[in-house]
Amino acid sequence: MMFNPTKIKDVEIRNRIARSATHEGLGNHKGEPTAKHRELYNQLAEGQVGLLITCAAVVERFKIEFPENAGLAYPIFIDRDELAELWKPIVADVQARGAKIAMQIVHTGRQTLPALLGGEPPFGPSAVEEKNLGTMPREMTVSEIKDMIEKFAQAVRRGKQAGFDSVQLHGGHGYLISSFISPYTNRRTDEYGGDTERRARFIVDIVRRARELVGENYPIMIKMNCDDFVPGGLTMDESVRLARLIESAGIDCIEITAGIWETHDRISKKGINKVEKEAYFYPYAEALRKAVGIPLILVGGMRSPKVIEKVLSDGVADMVSLCRPFIREPQLIRRWKEGDLSKARCISCNKCTENTFRRTLRCYVEELEKEKRAKTKNKE
């Protein structure tokens, strides 16, 4: 089934495999896309990925300016219309190679490093300590929430302007949208906090405003947390109710994920060396499948074609998404399609994720292998 075409709204996708977003650090110091994005995305498209989801583009600029040519893992932004114009040729290249491409958009919220804010504290729905960073965010005002809703909606509009086939809201991993839907991080008592419906309002308002800008036919997706893995946090049962609410609001596809920075070891699990360890978010897809009718994408440790086929044939998800395997093997899907069905070469060491914001995207195992091959060649 993984090579069968599928659709999200009216967007036809050539197979059931998506590349899940990850921070690539390939932008320039201004937060603009570069030739490195084009090279990476073209490799993935030529490698037969069906749907390519970009690195998350930030909807609000940080309060510091990055030095030029400093070798940093620069973020990208989508806070200005001219950025959409810079993405147009990259998007067109990917589409010319038969893949569809979606832009992921994000605000890092309470998990923003204070250094990026000029020393100011980050903000979130409530003042709840971020234990991974040891920072205390300040609570957003209702006026700030309304302003942020507009920033997300305008970012969706810019995604459409750039020619992306879809835009994906990053509603996972403890970032701003995720922190609004979680009872662990959202302890507000106004219209944006309290019961499930009010905590979902931030997403609902973003989607409704975005629809005014891009119309009813443009696909808007979300990567949604289904469990925070912290006491008092979001759980599977509540994620089902959330999924129903955001489907009613107009979300067209949900990519299923879980975990926040404080539980980062459960987002990308290490040592996936047996099929039994793959598809570790399967139960969440199973639960959401019973609740919603929109397409679901399952991420989480899939390495073997037979596991992917089972997920799809079971009907719990319409697509699967991989990330770490594509860092080592951009041509993975082409390899499988051509008949080599051995599992992905990724060993789930997590060196890539551990260095996500420190260095540009790379497979550290592959780097070592290349060094060994070069040394062997030199000896010969």
Known catalytic residues are 175
CB 289 within 8 A of CB 314: no
Q: How far apart are CA 40 and CA 46, in angstroms?
A: 10
Other beta carbons within 10 Å of 67: 10
CB 220 within 8 A of CB 209: no
DSSP code per residue over 15-75: SSEEE------BS-TTS---HHHHHHHHHHHHTT-SEEEPPPEESS--SSPPPTTS---B-
Q: ∠ CA 189-195-200 to the nearest 5 degrees?
A: 95
Q: How far apart are CA 209 and CA 145, in angstroms?
A: 13
Nearest to 109 by CA among 10, 15, 182: 182
Between the alpha carbon of residue 198 and those of residues 147, 186, 245, the distances in Å are 18, 10, 10
